[in-house]
Amino acid sequence: MSTVKGKESKLTIGVIGLGYVGLPLAVAFAEAGDRVIALDTDIRKIAAIDRADSYIEDISDERLEDALPLIDATTRYARLAPADAIIICVPTPLTRQREPDLGPLYAAACGVRDVLQVGQLVVLQSTTFPGTTRKHLVPILEESGLRLGRDFNVAFSPERVDPGRTDFDLRNTPKVIGGVTEECTARAEALYGRVCEHPVAVSTSEVAELAKLLENIYRSVNIALVNEMAIIADRMDIDIWEVIDAASTKPYGFTRFEPGPGMGGHCLPVDPFYLTWKAREYDMATEFIELAGKVNQQMPNHCVERIERVLNDAGKPVKGTRIAIFGVAYKAATSDVRESPAIKIIDLLRKRDADLMYHDPYVPDLNGLDLSGESFEVALGADLAVITTAHPDVDYQAILDRVPLVLDLRGHTRKYTTGGVTPTSPSPPVTGTKGQ
């Protein structure tokens, strides 16, 4: 048998979708001594895994290389036939009408259906609306002729990965697990117990599905609240950061959320709309949730208005002014630009003919915008620096000292001295950790 750090292979685990959720999961099972069949339709990811070139910040090249003896990366669903368990980690995006797009999930389900074997456990990790596992995934799998409960088991266990975070990871973050039947739950709980210290079993897959949406909607609503407060504070010329610091001294009844340029990532800008769409089946309009989404989506526009005011106060137009965007990833210490508010700000400023550049040590190129990152030194030559993502290991004091105008949308430079610069951030808008 193959080994990883002296461990013998115990189970064979299939992982479909090798992004920010799937690849760390595949590595974790391999590190536990299980054989992993890692499947993705993107041949570039398969090639990168085979040469131990990790494209996920949370997984180092060295860690991937150590796990490789037990990882079989492939694009072929047929390779999943011998798996004891198959975990689906594909994207669940929105359509242009902001309705759930289950296309990737249906494709994965059909691929599993065609190779499904008696005794296999199938677990869905992709965030989705309540009822997806039972009413959408199971019927497709049963087209194989096999039957749930008699021949195979199905469960839902939402991902809780927070990219770039070091204090909580897959192992020590509690893992919610809900099976379609009690036996399904028990099997899934045993599976995740191999790589997670705190499995949390719930009564049904629907409970697990809704719990994940509640987590993200809770954040979305509170981020929208503090973003709206930031706009109000800006107009009142009150330092929103000082307001938040003061409110945070209360030892109960208040949870700190911080404003920012908007909401990004793979969860918060998308997941709440899965519930609002599903709620319409029950004649309910989720106005509160949708309003939060609207507020957060408008934050890049508010930030551009602030940029215009800053330049106007300095007697400069947006058109032709050298503006450097510092940080284009949606979150610090990651290269993930999905739904990044910085990209929306860049797009809005381009339409106003600004002379734009950006610096991000994690994102060398923005291919979709035909824009390459500049060196830190070049970016310091801008007329205005806009801090949209506060990456670590960036010399923010140098930005304050050398750029004539600085607009900090994260409140990160409050702890720095301003030198001879006029920083313009009494009340910048904000976002929080995951999805911000």
Q: In what order do the strands lie in the sheet with 422-423?
A: 355-359, 322-326, 384-387, 405-408, 422-423
Residue 211 identity (one-letter amino acid): A
Q: Are 363 and 330 in contact (CB under 8 A)?
A: no
For the CA atoms of 26, 27, 29, 33, the dihedral, rounded to the nearest 10 degrees, stands at 130
DSSP state letter for 326 = E
In the residue annotation, 196 being an active-site residue is answered as: no
Crossing angle (nearest 10°) for helices 240-247 and 205-236: 130
294, 296, 297, 300 alpha-carbon torsion, rounded to 10°: 140
The helix (H) or strand (E) run that includes residue 121 is strand 121-124
Q: Which of 89, 184, 196, 267 is catalytic?
A: 267
CB atoms within 10 A of CB 133: 28
HSE-up (13 A, CA, CB side) for residue 196: 24
* Sign of the CA dihedral running 239, 240, 245, 246: positive
Host H or E run for residue 322 = strand 322-326
Whole-angstrom distance, CA of residue 48 vs CA of residue 44:
6
CB contact at 8 A, 323 and 402? no
268 vs 256: CA distance, rounded Å: 17
Other beta carbons less than 10 A from residue 246's beta carbon: 10
The residues carrying an active-site annotation are: 267
